[in-house]
Amino acid sequence: MNLSTNEKKLRQRETFKRLINLGLTAVCLGLEIALFAYWWQMQFRWSVVEALRYFQGKGHVLEVGIYAFVLILLSSMYGGIRLGYLKNVELIFSQVFATLMANVFIYAELSVMAAEPFVPDVFILMMIEQTMVVIIYINVANRVYRAIFPPRKLLLVHGDRPIEGIRAKFESRRDKYIITRTVHVSEGFDTVCGTILEAYEKGECNAVVLGDISVADRTPLIKFCYGHSIRFYLLPKITDVILMGAEELHVFDSPMLLTREYSLTVEQRIIKRCIDVFGALVLLVAASPFMLLTALAIKLYDHGPILYRQVRCTQDQREFHIMKFRSMRTDAEKDGVARLAQKNDDRITPVGKFIRKCRLDELPQLVNILKGDMSFIGPRPERPEIIAQYLEVMPEFAYRMKVKAGLAGFAQVYGKYNTSPYDKLKLDLTYIENYSVMLDVKLMLLTLKILFWPDSTEGVETEQITALREERRKRQEGRDEKEEE
C-alpha cells in the first residue's frame, strides 16, 4: 500500500471515529435532557409562579433548551463527553459531576421563577435517574467504542535517557495507547525514517512518539512526519511550552513570534486582583461555619494549635507565611527537615485525613489571598528549602515564580500530587504563557471537580523515584566517573 492511499484511509478513519464519538455522546446527553424535559412537563412547570405556569410550546422548548445548553457546556468543560479519551471511571465521574452542576444551576433558576426555594425531592430523583443512565450508557458506549477503535499502536523514537518513565506513562493507558516498537535516534535520520515507514507499511504502528531527544534531532523528524501526514506525539521541552503562549505578529512580510517579559499585562493583573478580593470575601462568609467546625475538631483531638503557618514563596520568590488548618501531628517535622507528604503518611492525624480529603485544610489561605500574597489560580507555593533543591538540578523552576502563587492551579487540575517536578513546571508554565481571565474562570470550575477526585489528594508513593532524585543520582554518577578518570 502506498503512502497516499494509506493517508486517505487514515483520514477517513479519523472522520468516522469523530462521528462515532459525537453520535455516542449525543445519545447520552439526549437521554439526560429527555429526563429533564419529562420532569419539566410533568412536575417542574407547575411549581413556578402563576404567570409562568402556562407556557406556550416555544416556552417549553426554551426552558429545555437552556438546560441542554448548560449541560452540554459543563459536560464539555469537565470532560464528560471525551469518550475514548478518559478512563471509564473518570468519564463517568466527569459526566455525573457535570450533570450535578447543571442541575444546581437550573434549580437556582427555577427557584427564581417560583419566587421561593424550589422543592428538591423531584430534582434529587431526576439526578438519581440521570446518574443511572450515565453509568449504564457510558459503560456500554465505551465497550462499543473500544471494539471499533482499538488502542493506537505507537513507535517511540528515543534518546539516551532511560525510556522506562515514558513507557510507564503510556502503559497506564493501555486502553488508548500501546508502544509496539522503539528506535534510538542515534541510528541516524535515514534509518529512523525508514523504520517509521516500514512500521506503517506493516501495520505495526499508526503514530509516532518523539520522546526526550534533542531539538537538532527532533526538527527533521517533525518535518518528515508532517510531510508524510504521519500522526506524531511530542513530549515538549520547557522552550516549547514557553512558545505556546507567544503572540503572533505580522509587522513584516514574514511571521514573527513575541514572548513578553511580563507574563500578565497591567489590566489582567487588575482584573485578577479584583476577582481574588471579591471571591475571597464571599467564600470566607460562606465557608465560616465549616471553618469553625474544623477548628473545633482539631482543637478537641489533641489540644494543639489550630492553624499551621509555614514559610512559602510567591511571585519573584518573595517569602510569606501560608496558613492552613493543621492536619499533622505537632511534632511532624521535629527534626527540622522539610518533607513532602507521602501516601499513608503516619504523621497525618485522623482529623487531618478528613480535612485534607475535603480540602478544608486549605480554607485559611483565603486570608493569604486577601493580603495579596496569593491568588485563587496560580502555581502552588513551595517552601524555600525545596525550591533551593529543585533549582540545583532544574534552574528553570524559577520561571514559575513570574506570577503570584495560587490556591489552585493548572498543575493541580491536570496533574497529580505525585506528578514529577519537571512535568509540574511544564504545566505551570502552560498556565503562565496562556493566561486569560477566562482561563482562570475555567480552572476555578475545574477545581470543583478535582476536590472530589481521589487522585488530586494522594501523597507521594514512598517507593516512587521522583524526577528530582533521579536527576541527582545521574549527576552524582557523572561526578564519580570524572573523579575516577
DSSP codes of every residue in 16-42: HHHHHHHHHHHHHHHHHHHHHHHHHHH
- List, in order, residues 6 or more apart from 438 with CB less than 8 Å away: none
pLDDT at site 353: 87
Q: What is the pLDDT of residues 244-301, one digit of tens each?
A: 888 888 888 888 988 877 667 788 889 999 999 999 999 999 999 999 999 999 989 8
Mean of all residue pLDDT scores within the chain: 83
pLDDT at site 50: 58
- C-alpha cell recorded at residue 299: 482543637
pLDDT at site 319: 94
Structure letter (DSSP) for residue 400: G
The CA distance from 460 to 45, in Å, is: 51
**What is the pTM for the complete model shown?**
0.76
Q: How far apart are the first and last CA of the chain?
A: 54
Residues in the chain: 485
pLDDT at site 242: 87
**In three state form, how does the secondary structure of 307-376 look?**
EEEEEEECHHHCEEEEEEECCECCCCCCCCCCCCCECCCCCECHHHHHHHHCCHHHCCHHHHHHHCCEEE
- C-alpha cell recorded at residue 93: 465521574
Residues 224, 192: contact at Cβ < 8 Å? Answer: no
pLDDT at site 44: 81
Regions of the chain with pLDDT less than 70 = 1-7, 10, 48-58, 262-263, 332-344, 417-418, 453-485
Q: What are phi and psi of 39, to 5 degrees?
A: -70, -30
Could you list the beta-strand ranges (E) of 172-318.
177-184, 207-210, 232-234, 247-249, 256-258, 307-313
- C-alpha cell recorded at residue 364: 485559611
- List, in order, residues 6 or more apart from 444 with CB less than 8 Å away: 376, 377, 408
pLDDT at site 336: 59
pLDDT at site 89: 84
pLDDT at site 338: 55
